[in-house]
Chains A and B, each alone.
Chain A
Amino acid sequence: MEFVKKLHQSIHTNAALNAFYIEETFYTYQEFSDLINAIRFAIQQTIDEKEKMVGLVTNNDLQTYAAILALWFEGKTYVPVNPDLPKIRNQKIFELTDIKHIIDSSETTVFSNYRVIHSSTIASYNEDLSLKNIKENDLAYILFTSGTTGLPKGVPISFSNVNILVNAIDKEPDFNLVASDKCLQMFELTFDFSVVTYLFPLLAGSCIYTIAKDAIKYFYVYKLIKEQKLTVLTMVPSIINYLRPYFSEINAPDVRYCSFGGGALHADIAKEWSECLPNCKIFNYYGPTEYTVYSGFYPYHKDTNTKNHNGIIAIGKPQAGTQYIVVDENNQEVPTGVTGELCLGGGQVTPGYWKNPTKNKQSFFFKAYNEKKLRFYKTGDLVFKDEEGDFLYVGRSDFQVKIRGYRVELAEIEYHAKSKCEKKVNMVALDLKNKLGNAELGLAIESDKFDFSAVLEYMKTKIPDYMIPSHLAFVKEFPHSINGKIDRKKLKTHFDIN
């Protein structure tokens, strides 16, 4: 497998350089490599060649990153679990994947029912081990997200999926990491965005800066930018929402790339943020976990490239090897300019949800494309394509709700409310079920209570009255999921409509 060979090579070529900065300590590629070899030796001694899936407890330490590469170099799959999540959920994940062995760097492991490789007390092993042969369909990792049925939903990603992602990003002329780059890695390793924030820097010999465990995340990110002079940032938009009150104090001329993903990037905050990064290229990436992190991006620029719909920055064009099609309810393509569901085709589509044939039937389909039969993933995101071939994000298909029989896009309501409101605060429109089971509109505003009547009056001049929220809730801080996305379900509990 090409990218695994490249990783192996990069770790050796860059031995003298720093690979990680974790909890205020630098580690070189040589130290990283030694640890990978030690863990590989332990894997070879303990785990059968045929046993592919291995559990991984994701701590913020060198051992955990070394374990990922050790497993890959051994041709195995990592199944990460976050030690801060309930043990019962993590055990469910291990049950679903028939895990027998776990690699854990914690001082004391909570998973006593499994055979554990304790990576923090492992014996050193100084010989270099050769790479195992990896087949295309072998899995590189399985990530679990919350499923609607209450059972976690597994997304397996093959080595071939990752290889195709790496090739696509290599082909991108505007994004080239070099060994002197200092890259932010602020994601939990159970979140798919983390894959690009450790993989690309390691391939380039760059240094990866992680967030200290007990640090206040938002301020620590800024501290790293300022004191360590980071050059590459990869973040979810919610991070800059929290830093927004302090933007006037931020000036980071060393940052050359800033990639966003994992949520809608709003035009107003993108502009303000880009003023804090005077020498930076900003990429608005798009891509679901099911398509191996990234499928394409829009190159944002505050003066020249600000294409947006309802204030949400465009998601741009698909990357090399990826096809975007926009379809109606019957999976038939709709014309340019018409909104439909975005479907992704190409080599990065997951082999399918883990042991979930019902969901697989709903989410994947085959369709002829350029005379080839291609497998597509239905993203659940509504978009349209413009005349220039850029794709514009409209909203989640599950956020398109029916109010009094009319189809309403929740993002459009948020856009009009935000554009008039003088207080720059976050707002989320929600569909609330009343006693009769009908949907009514609510607007959650992230702020102390203030007079909102002028905004509502303005909205009445812009959108039909069925789109005017009939319920308001001022919420001091929006609830977020562990991945930094707004938890809409929890937000709905702030409304009392009956």
Chain B
Amino acid sequence: MNKEDIFKKIENALKTVLGHDNFQLSETTTAHDVDGWESVTHMMIISEIENNLNIKFKLMDLMNMNSVGDLVKIIESEL
């Protein structure tokens, strides 16, 4: 899976959980930039990505994740 595919997967997870596609993702995007992305929805987005890609994130990685770019890197390391 290349970077573009991973971005697509993240976009889909966001759409499913947040119920809108009113965002443009880049490596520097943070939760703060996207409407409705906060603590509780974040947990849902993480679980949505885990289920869709059949991976399990590590708490250590999740704890230090600050941007979509970080999320992409973690997904790459899990695949």
Contact = CB atoms under 8 A, between A and B. Distances in A.
Interface of A: 214-220, 222-223, 226, 242-243, 245-246, 249-250, 448, 476-477, 480
Contact of A250 (B39, B47, B51, B59): B59
Interface in B25-77: 30-32, 38-44, 47, 51, 58-60, 62-65
A477 B44 contact: yes
B43 A242 contact: yes
A250 B39 CA distance: 19
Nearest to A214: B32
A449 to B, nearest CB: 13
> What DSSP secondary structure best describes chain B's contact surface?
helix
> What DSSP secondary structure best describes chain A's contact surface?
helix
Given A216-B38, A249-B58, 18 more contacts: A216-B31, A217-B39, A218-B39, A219-B62, A219-B63, A222-B59, A222-B63, A223-B63, A223-B64, A242-B40, A245-B47, A249-B60, A250-B59, A476-B17, A477-B41, A477-B43, A477-B44, A480-B40
Interface residues of B, number: 20
Contacts of B39: 215-218
Contacts of A243: 59
Contacts of A216: 31, 38-39, 42-43
Interface of B: 17, 30-32, 38-44, 47, 51, 58-60, 62-65
Contacts of B51: 448
A226 B63 CA distance: 10
Contacts of A250: 59
A246 B40 contact: no
Contacts of B32: 214
Given A219-B63, A250-B59, A476 B44 contact: yes
Enumerate the 8 nearest inter-chain pairs by beta-carbon distance, A residue then B residue, closest first.
Answer: A246-B59, A217-B39, A249-B59, A223-B63, A216-B42, A219-B63, A477-B44, A214-B32
Contacts of B17: 476
A486 to B, nearest CB: 12
B43 A218 contact: yes
Contacts of B40: 242, 477, 480
A243 B40 CA distance: 12
